[in-house]
Amino acid sequence: MLHRLRHRRLAYWPGVLLLALLILMAFSPTSEVAKASSGRPRIGLVLGGGGARGIAHIGILKMLEELRIPVDCVAGTSMGSIIAGLYASGMTPEKMSETVQKIDWPQAFTDGPPRADLPFRTKQEQRVLLTDAGVGVKNGRVQLPRSLLQGQNLLLLLETLALPAAEVRNFDQLRIPYRAVATDLATGKPVVLSSGNLATAMRASMSIPSALAPVELDGKLLVDGGVSDNVPVDVARNLCKPDVIIAVDVGAPLAPTSELTSVLSITEQLTTILTVRNVEQQKKTLGPKDIWITPDLKDISSIDFDRSAEAEKVGYAAAQAQRSALSRLSATPDDYRAYLAARPDLPEPHRPIIDFIRIKNGTRLADAVIEKQVHVQPGDRLDPEQLNRNLNVIYGMGDFQQVDYSLVEEDGKTGLIVEATPRDIGANTLNFGLFLGANLKGDSLFNISTAYTMTQINQLGGEWRSFVQIGGNIDLETDFYQPLSAAQDYYLDPYLSYQQYNLDLQNEDSISTSASFRVREVGAGIELGRNLAHWGRLSVGLHYSAGNNDLRFGRSSIYEGAFNDSGYSLRWAADTLDSLNFPTSGYFANLRYYSALTGLGADQNFQTLSLDASKPYHWDKSTLIPRFRLAGTLDGDPGPENLFLLGGFLNLSGYQIGQLSGQYLAFGELIYMYRLDSSSAAFTIPLYAGGSLEVGGAWNDTDDIRFDTLIPAGSLFLGADTPLGPFYLGAGLADGSKASLYMLLGKLF
């Protein structure tokens, strides 16, 4: 504030004189517009939109600074608005270049934190739920999202990059006066953003229709400015009345007829037509002194952020090609130093002491739940990177459209405002899944599933989830997850379930079937647990079930008929995998002990112990995942409903799901995956080719556990990590002429 007052006092009398001069020159027939105070031409810079192609602007800026070309105002659209905004806030082109190369663009164009930072409850739901994406249910109606992404990570990235201007609300007070252009979705007209939060303005200008969610601002729903004004020459003219406009167009050209072969390509072409038309209109307004630069970006597309270094070089070359025209705008060294000195000072990226915290919460959650996850206390120094991570953890709870922050100055104190916006599709979601497996004998298994999740039932974040699966296996489940405090470290989880499935009992050779049952089971239980940060969980549970084992074929046994099962369980789980289905880092482990007790209603006493663990190893585009499962009965004789199951894709491939069963189980595999697409590209669907080597077995007697009874198996598959969830096409082969084909959408096991 003091520097602004000093600036105002020093500039008072020159300002009066300059104002008088401007008035005189406005009525002078020899001058149409004002010149800068030094007599040099006033220059306006216009940076157009184009996604990743907009990185070329950095190369343009480097050339302008090399030539000592002063910029008196800057306007931008979409990616051009981001480059322009950072430049206006004082970031140098060199720093921009360094920053752009370090950004994890695939992560920037996703929502929420890396999977390792998700709440453990969310990770657990990923193993139970079917697909990553779902539809909302609001006011009793299915609600589709407005876009593929909400832009949560992109907004937080922009907040960090624009931190020096965090407290600036008038864009005229930036180091260079700045404007961003967005489009009013209701009217189709351009909206010029001149004030507010700089990061929000840049994010609104880059709200790519259908890809990134619109931004609600001042009662308007804003999308990408490229739709209405992709190279906003008119905005720069109105901003600083420049003598010369330097405009840069990085928009993609229209595609030829031969490339218009799909709905997506045609839709993209229609958008490009709108952009090209408004760009041509702006180009027609240029005068003989103005400079139009079109970098020859060739095949660099709007999503090729992994080619940012290449785009920057192309931009520099394009400016170099117009060096002669640009050089006429070069200021003398003295004038350029005076220009730099006259720009308003903004603080260097700073980490202020936070004096107070305020939660703006539009959800049903208690403010305390959000505040606990922010992990900032009055007196703490702001750590933008850690704050972004914490806000993403809040977003990852799954109940938010956006979780953002801003800094304010009130009575000489710095405040942190955290704003949590509820999802526009509502707090409740529907997820879907599909499984199809068939062997070469004609046997098949088809399951289709749906899950309905109600979130934010109460202020502590209670969730009610119901799961339905129909097909060869029937599964009905409902549970109510209730955190016991605002910190959400302890929880209660009561549940009800009903299952129907086929269970095969093996002969001593563990290959042929001695009997097959149709198991029908009703269950209920409750679990008390402790979340271990985001990486693990400890829990104890009580369980009761009753059902019937109906003989389908084979010889009768003591297992036929009704059964009762009741006991308690102890479980420890850890999950730090970066991806559930295509991991490259982290680990997973699940250890479970179960004791059935006649005193609690079980038919007999028995104890079981099981362990499942995996850890990926990644290099280049390859990933190797060792995994093993061990399980066994410690004491007693559990019924078939408590046997350990083996079979299915990547679970002794070649066999159908649960085709092998026993009181003891051992399984190990090595999964290899190779990523077929670029891992550094944004807005892509990761594609994989892979295979597995597997060995395992299930036995009912310890005397049968021998190396020569282990069954070798393997698989080949193609996989895709789609917005709906993982999709697989695979084939499995196991010893004993067992072969199966698989198609899966959703969970693996």
pLDDT for 29-63, tens place per residue?
333 333 455 578 999 999 999 889 999 999 999 99
Mean pLDDT of 598-627: 94
pLDDT of 510 above 70? no
More confident position, 382 or 588: 588
> What is the residue-averaged pLDDT of the chain?
84
**639, amino acid identity:** G
Mean pLDDT of 717-732: 85
Nearest to 669 by CA among 725, 749, 593: 749
List pLDDT tens digits, range 527-582. 999 999 889 999 999 999 999 988 887 776 767 788 999 999 999 999 999 988 89
DSSP 8-state secondary structure symbol assigned to residue 195: B
pLDDT of 507 above 80? no
- pLDDT of 134: 67
Cα–Cα dist 398/115, whole Å: 12
- pLDDT of 137: 74
- pLDDT of 628: 95
Cα–Cα dist 291/313, whole Å: 19
On whether the CB atoms of residues 230 and 48 are closer than 8 A, the answer is: yes
- pLDDT of 15: 39
Helix (H) and strand (E) counts for the chain? 15, 32
Cα–Cα dist 357/407, whole Å: 10
Cα–Cα dist 126/105, whole Å: 24
More confident position, 492 or 347: 492
On whether the CB atoms of residues 211 and 147 are closer than 8 A, the answer is: yes
**279, amino acid identity:** V
- pLDDT of 14: 38
Cα–Cα dist 130/136, whole Å: 15
Tokens 């930072």 correspond to what residue?
117
Mean pLDDT of 445-455: 82
More confident position, 444 or 635: 635
Nearest to 485 by CA among 531, 427, 541: 531
- pLDDT of 174: 93
More confident position, 9 or 477: 477
Would you place residue 364 in the very low, low, confident or very high pLDDT band (cuts 50, 70, 90)? confident
**482, amino acid identity:** Q
- pLDDT of 130: 54
Angle between helices 198-205 and 152-161 (to 10 degrees): 130
- pLDDT of 550: 85
More confident position, 210 or 159: 159
Query: Quick one: what percent of the chain has pLDDT higher than 70?
Result: 88
- pLDDT of 674: 96
- pLDDT of 263: 60
For the ranges 155-169, 305-319, 644-658, the maximum mean pLDDT occurs at 305-319
Q: How far is CA 425 from CA 348, 459, 481, in A?
A: 39, 19, 22
DSSP 397-436: TS-EEEEEEEEEEETTEEEEEEEEEE-TT-SEEEEEEEEE
| Helix (H/G/I), strand (E/B), else coil: 669 | strand
pLDDT of 439 above 80? no
pLDDT of 271 above 80? no
- pLDDT of 17: 34
Q: Which of 151-165, 352-366, 421-435 is predicted least confidently?
A: 421-435
Query: Quick one: what percent of the chain has pLDDT higher than 90?
Result: 43
Cα–Cα dist 20/281, whole Å: 35
DSSP 653-680: TTSPTT-EEESEEEEEEEEEEEE-S-TT
Mean pLDDT of 602-613: 94
List pLDDT tens digits, range 651-671. 999 887 778 888 999 999 999
Residue ranges of E strands in 484-555: 490-506, 513-532, 536-554
pLDDT of 151 above 90? no
**208, amino acid identity:** I
More confident position, 552 or 93: 93
**Which tokens sit at 550?**
């109906």
Nearest to 45 by CA among 69, 74, 84, 88: 74
Give every CB contact of residue 284 below 8 A, 6+ residues apart in sequence. none
Would you place residue 267 in the very low, low, confident or very high pLDDT band (cuts 50, 70, 90)? low
pLDDT of 232 above 90? yes
Q: For residue 731, count other CB atoms closer than 10 A to its CB.
A: 17
DSSP 8-state secondary structure symbol assigned to residue 172: G
Residue ranges of E strands in 98-157: 135-138, 141-143
More confident position, 167 or 284: 284
On whether the CB atoms of residues 618 and 591 are closer than 8 A, the answer is: no
Nearest to 83 by CA among 73, 96, 72, 64: 96
- pLDDT of 8: 34
